[in-house]
Amino acid sequence: MAIKWTPDLTVGLEHIDAQHKILFEKIDNLFEAGRSGKSKEVIGETLEFLDAYTKQHFRDEELYMANIKYPHLDQQKAAHKSFIEQIAKLKQEYNQSGGNILLIINANQTLVKWLTQHISVMDKQIGIYAKNLKK
């Protein structure tokens, strides 16, 4: 299941939207690497990048929310922690499976679903809150 950024996922904060776009691109790259039979190393590298980049993105996003005194920061942190745990589990399963394509497909679906729902439901609220601060 390929994943592409769509304008309806815009949060309205350029720095957050730019990082979200990169996450979408890398998740799509993970799927394509698995689908096209790329080496285990390529897929492993993509998973490592996703892990590190997601952690950095969440740190940046949480710092921004703290700076604007976003009232739902704790809920965001809990959701972020859950996603980081999902990626860690995926990496572990991938390493144990030796590159099972079914795992990559399932992982892609899980990551896509979580990310689109999180952005649509939770992250959009950050943009609304920030926009109202500027009024």
Residue 117 covered by a domain: yes
Residue 128 covered by a domain: yes
Report in angstroms the alpha-carbon separations of 131 from 24, 66, 88, 122, 128.
Answer: 24, 15, 34, 15, 5
Residue 45 covered by a domain: yes
Residue 2 covered by a domain: no
Residue 13 covered by a domain: no
pTM of the model: 0.86
Residue 76 covered by a domain: yes
pLDDT in tens, 12-48: 999 999 999 998 888 888 777 777 777 677 777 878 8
Residue 3 covered by a domain: no
Residue 1 covered by a domain: no
Domain of residue 64, residue span: 19-133
Q: How many domains does the chain have?
A: 1
CATH of the domain at 36: 1.20.120.50
pLDDT in tens, 93-135: 888 877 677 777 777 778 888 889 999 999 999 999 999 987 6
